[in-house]
Amino acid sequence: MALEYLPDTDLSSKPLLCARGLYCERDDRVLFKDLNFDLSSGQIVRLAGPNGAGKSSLMRILLGLSASYEGALYWHEQDMARALYDFRSDLLYIGHDVGVKSNLTPEENLAWSCPNVTKQDIYGALKRVGLSGFEDLLTHGLSAGQQRRVALARLFLSSKELENKSLWILDEPFTAIDKHGVADLEQVIVNHAQQGGLVILTTHHDLSVPVKTIMLGQTQKASL
């Protein structure tokens, strides 16, 4: 439940995403309670905590994919339920399961998940994640890291000019990615924040950039 704040990088701007009094309980175990935060554009926010702390659960709550919580969420200072269309238009989410179809090629996968970009953009993004030459192979024939890279290529497509997604929610994006790839990814994330995006991520890696951390606590028994 401890909440550590780095000073906001841009205090003048209005917050993008606010949480008030979030409470979540699973199997009689309180994951977090009375969680409040204001996240604004330009920030990189890391949800931290040990395995089972509730990082993914919190993300799913923010996304509106989970209903087992109490508290309020605001997007652009609007109640989340009413801002849903705007929120989702601005959202790029990559979860534990990345939503890459093993029976499609990397190119086809991206063509679906980013319908507004050109084929050339897709080839460019695939090149950026080190998959040039693999565009036309079925994804299930790729290595574990390469499969995740297909999903991560979306990050290279969501820049301002292309898909214009300002909020990135990334659940352990570095899983299975090699050293070089992790450095690349960090760079993209930093770029995105610098261009006014908001990035919320979890990872057990050490990040080489300063981030705001929301610490989720150790497990506790529910005691009502």
Partner 1 sequence: MWTSLKRLYHKMGSPKWFYEISTRWSPWFLLVGSALMLTGVVWGLAFAPADYLQGNSFRIIYIHVPASLLSQSAYIMMAAAGLVGLVWKMKMSFVVAKVIAPIGASLAIMSLLTGAIWGKPTWGTWWVWDARLTSMLILLFLYFGVIAIYNAIENEEMANKAAGILAIVGSINIPIIKYSVEWWNTLHQPATITMTKKPTMAPEMFIPLLLTIIGFYCWFAVWVFARTRNELLWRERRTKWVKNLVINAPTNSGAHQ
Partner 2 sequence: MNGSMKALFKRDMLLAFRSRGDLLNPLMFFLMVASLFPLAVSPDPLFLGQIAPGVIWVGALLATLLSLDLLFKSDFEDGSLEQMLLMPQPTLLMVIVKVLVHWLVAGLPLAFIAPLLGLMLGLPSGGFAPLMATLLLATPILSLLGAIGAGLTVGLRKGGMLMPLLILPLYIPVLIFASSAVQAGVLGNSYVGHMAFLGAYLALTLVVAPVATASALRISIAR
Ligand X SMILES: Nc1ncnc2c1ncn2[C@@H]1O[C@H](COP(=O)(O)OP(=O)(O)OP(=O)(O)O)[C@@H](O)[C@H]1O
Residues lying near partner 2 in the complex (CB under 8 A) are found at: 63-68, 85-86, 88-89, 91, 93, 95-104, 108, 111-113, 115-116, 138, 140
Q: What are phi and psi of 136, to 5 degrees?
A: -110, 10
- Separation CA 146–CA 166 (nearest Å): 25
CB-CB neighbours of 186 under 10 Å: 18
144 binds Mg ion (CB under 5 A): yes
Tell me how far, at minimum, the Cβ of 179 lies from partner 2, in Å.
25
224 binds, among partner 2, Mg ion, partner 1, none (CB under 5 to 8 A by kind): partner 1
Nearer to partner 2, 77 or 86 (CB): 86
Q: For residue 173, what are its two tokens?
A: 């994006």
C-alpha separations of 4 from 7, 37, 46, 68, 116 in Å: 10, 10, 11, 25, 38
Nearer to its own copies, 66 or 219 (CB): 219
Q: How far apart are the first and last CA of the chain?
A: 16
146 binds ligand X (CB under 6 A): yes
- Separation CA 195–CA 4 (nearest Å): 24
Task: Enumerate residues 56-95 that contact ligand X by CB under 6 A.
Answer: 56-57
**Binding-site ranges for Mg ion (CB under 5 A):** 56, 143-144
**Binding-site ranges for ligand X (CB under 6 A):** 26-27, 31, 49, 51-57, 141-146, 176, 178
